[in-house]
Amino acid sequence: MRFGAVVLLIVSAALLQGCAAALLPVVAAGAIGKTQVDAAQARTRAAEQQLADLPQAQREAVVTVAPVEETPTPAAEPVVQTAQIPAQPVALADINHPYLPMARYALAQAERRQAGASVRSAVLVEKVSLIEPRAVDCGDKPSAIIIDMDEAPGVELSDGEAIGFGELLQYLRDNGIVIAWVSDRSTGELAEDLALLQGGDFPAMQADDIQLFAWPGLRKQERRWNFAATHCVLAIAGDRKSDFDELFDYLRDPDYAIRLDAWTDRGWFLLPYPAAVAAATHSPKATEVDNTP
């Protein structure tokens, strides 16, 4: 199928004020210079320093107390004016797919937004605190998810775990959830993976999806912020923690990030690399998803 032009989201310079232009942490794909690394490290060090400056007893309390679960605040009026989400068909439960928990979470969050509840974004604010971490405000922005396309070892795809990837993502689209794909590689470098995601009878990647691929002067974290400035990111799929936020690549003490565990499986989902999933995906008639309301 023909694939639409790459959509690049670039917000105003004001949104990037104070952010050094950079690309990606050193452990990620692609070349990166010292200036770019410094920009990501400086953000992480500032977050760590807030915690380090606390008296020892308070600091120990922060890194040992379990994170608080999300408690959405009901709004007087619905914050999102979109069509009602239809009940999930029974066939959806039959899909044996690693991305299914993320899809269910995103659908549930989108439904809560339509009911008038506020939900938490999966994208952390620029000046993040490890004491009281906050996410980007969702407001009335359209709902979305982000799928990372920079492969890292760790999360493996089990046999028989890839039924209906294209149908699953289409179900999200049909329910008003935008799909964005992010990578620190260019479309040329991603050609083989894009062919897998765009091929087949029911492609996982569609022409109206948003591509946040490599762009000079913007590291991946900045592209996530740019997208979160215009969309409510309900969930992020990645195969390592830095796919959720760059600070995980630079933390000197992993215990300092314990409060970020509040996003684990509630916005952040460690999942197999999407191209590997697409390569293994098949869509037998017995497990077709019925999108009829």
Residue 3: predicted pLDDT: 37
Residue 178: predicted pLDDT: 97
Instruction: Give the count of beta carbons closer than 10 Å to the beta carbon of residue 131.
Output: 17
Q: Is the pTM of this model over 0.75?
A: no
Residue 292: predicted pLDDT: 45
Residue 164: predicted pLDDT: 80
Cα separation of 156 and 215, whole Å?
29
pLDDT tens string, the chain, 293 residues long: the values are 433 433 333 333 333 333 333 333 333 434 445 666 677 777 777 776 766 666 665 555 555 554 545 544 434 343 343 434 444 443 566 667 889 999 999 999 999 999 999 999 999 999 888 988 999 999 999 999 999 999 987 666 665 555 688 889 999 999 999 999 999 999 999 999 999 999 888 899 999 999 999 888 888 999 999 999 999 999 999 999 999 999 999 988 888 889 999 999 999 999 999 988 888 765 443 334 444 44
Residue 176: predicted pLDDT: 95
Residue 87: predicted pLDDT: 44
